[in-house]
Structure 1
């Protein structure tokens, strides 16, 4: 697979993932959005690891990968807490901060 294809697959999977996450939060009783969200976790992780391998495992992008895994955990916690009608404000704040950092690293604003 070409590097350009990996970049597009990874970026597009992130965009779709965030949209599916928001839909999962809004439509709490829908299971299909959550299942699709989890499918895109896999696509995003596989494409990210493939890009890391092609880049030669640079430290900043390894950090981005770790933050991405934390972000996935936050998404899961937000969805579950929202479904159970428990407060999730702290998780939302962390989600927004980490998402912004990931985007800044991904678009090479940071680094």
Structure 2
């Protein structure tokens, strides 16, 4: 299940950067299609993340702080991906959302590597 989660994140990030470059070059129709596919991947990312936690034997009553932090950072990362694309689509400044996205993404990846069940602990 960890592999599915990582694959979903990689595909999601690729789709995010494709959509953002399309919005930047004002190819609105294809960018909207890629954006809609990315929204499906948001659901896959969140669902696979929950399944990874269940696979590791965690539920809401026995999560420790690091796992809760990773869960929150992952949700913030997904939310910022969406906010960046929505702002770009509306041709409004998205600099703050880009900064939050990059910080949240780096922290999420670092926690994912560090925590048991992460890429180096499989």
TM-score under structure 1 length normalisation:
0.86
Aligned residue among 2, 5, 8 for 2:3: 8
* Structure 1 residue 21 corresponds to structure 2 residue 16: yes
Q: What whole-Å deviation, never above 9, does each CA across 1:6-58 have from its counterpart, x for those lacking one?
A: 01100010011011111111112122211111111111111100111122333
Question: Rg larger in 1 or in 2?
Answer: 2
Count of matched residue positions in the alignment of Structure 1 and Structure 2: 104
* C-alpha separation in 2, matches of 1:75 and 1:18: 9
Q: Name the counterpart of 1:99.
A: 105
For the 8 Å contact 1:71–1:99, the answer to whether it is kept is yes
Q: Where does structure 1 lack aligned partners over 5 or more consecutive residues?
A: 1-5
Q: Where does structure 2 lack aligned partners over 5 or more consecutive residues?
A: 116-122
Q: Once superposed, what is the RMSD of the aligned Cα atoms? A: 1.3
Q: Secondary structure at the match of 2:83?
A: helix
Q: Name the counterpart of 2:44.
A: 43
